[in-house]
Amino acid sequence: MEVAHIWNSLEIIKLFVSMSTPMIVLVFGYLINRNIKSIEQKQWENQTIIQWRIKVFDEVSPKINDIYCFMLHIGNWKELNPLDVVARKRELDKKIHTSAALFSSELSACYEELMKVCFLSYRGWGKDAAIRVESTQHKAAYGADWDNKWDDLFVEDHECPLQCDIDKSYSALMDKFSQEIGIGLNGKNHELPKHRLNNWWS
């Protein structure tokens, strides 16, 4: 009787194992499949965000570069007048602020810092932001085509920032963009002498 009882117990165990194995495989398969789908969903969401970020970057980067060139008298700066630059800022403010949900707060802070370095805002009701660069070179470049009304779009000489501060803020923003659109740091380190912009000659 004891032998029969032992064999019956073994048969029950074997039967239980044979029945539970498919269930275990099924459960593990379900969990693995769910994790894979979760990872794929997360990857799709991340890729979608990256694509939207790239669209924003493609739109704003040329305008940011225009301001940068105007401030440092490099590149296409002679093709821009003060109204163009102030308009670039206005367009950038709108785009960056309406796209803020797509980017980190650190990127928004980098943008605000660059605008703070390049412009003097809140000058009074109805007044545009003033460009924080000395106007001498810009007047010389325009010559007789210079509109004296543009003088009000520039700050006083002592309010001009250091070249290195502009370059540092610009580089920080571009590096942050490169991180958040998934291409990493560009590794470029801009170093400029610490002179004020009214002493900068290209």
Q: How many domains does the chain have?
A: 1
HSE toward the beta carbon, residue 134, CA cutoff 13 A = 16
Residue 193 lies in a domain: yes
Q: pLDDT > 90: what percent of the chain?
A: 52
- 4 or 30, higher pLDDT: 30
Whether the pLDDT of residue 194 is over 50: the answer is no
Residue 50 lies in a domain: no
Residue 21 lies in a domain: no
pLDDT digits (tens, 9 = 90+) for 164-188: 999 999 999 999 999 998 875 444 4
pLDDT for residue 191: 39
Residue 7 lies in a domain: no
Domain enclosing residue 136, as ranges: 60-199
pLDDT for residue 188: 45
Residue 32 lies in a domain: no
Whether the pLDDT of residue 94 is over 80: the answer is yes
Residue 98 lies in a domain: yes
Give backbone dihedrals phi and psi of 196, rounded to 5 degrees, phi first.
-80, 160
Residue 67 binned pLDDT confidence (cut-offs 50, 70, 90):
very high
- 27 or 52, higher pLDDT: 52
pTM exceeds 0.75, yes or no? no
